[in-house]
Copies of this chain bind each other. A is one copy, B any other.
Amino acid sequence: MRRDVFQAIADPTRRAILLLIAAQAMTPNALAEHFDTTRQAVSKHLRILTECELVKQDHNGREIYYRLEVTKMKEIDKWLDQFRKLWESRFNELDNVLLTIKNDKK
């Protein structure tokens, strides 16, 4: 099972779920009300999000509250870090041109 964070956030419904529970932990039923699908479909998304540890469960009787696991979200941020220097540099465009020219000479 290839459950990585990037594959998890690829689905728009899952991104919406993450946003919702970021504001407030919710049960599958409560979440399902926000979408045009069945509760089972939402449940499946939650399973995927749980498997890659983007969300955690808080059991409360027969209800299960899903909450965002912020730590895992940082993983995406960490990946972005590799590119961040590129857009923080105002010479970004120029760099690319120079690299292309250099490559041409070979």
A positions within 8 Å CB-CB of B = 4, 6-7, 9-10, 12, 15, 18-19, 22-26, 58, 60, 65, 67-68, 70-71, 73-74, 76-77, 79-80, 82-84, 86-87, 92, 96, 99-100, 102-104
Contact = CB atoms under 8 A, between A and B. Distances in A.
A24 B22 CA distance: 37
Tally of this chain's copies: 2
Q: Decide if the interface of chain A is mainly helix, strand, loop or mixed.
A: helix
A9 B6 CA distance: 7
Given A6-B9, A103-B26, A67 B82 contact: no
B96 A25 contact: yes
Contacts of A104: 60
A54 B74 CA distance: 21
A70 B83 contact: yes
B24 A103 contact: yes
A99 B25 contact: yes
Given A25-B99, A67-B96, A73 B83 contact: yes
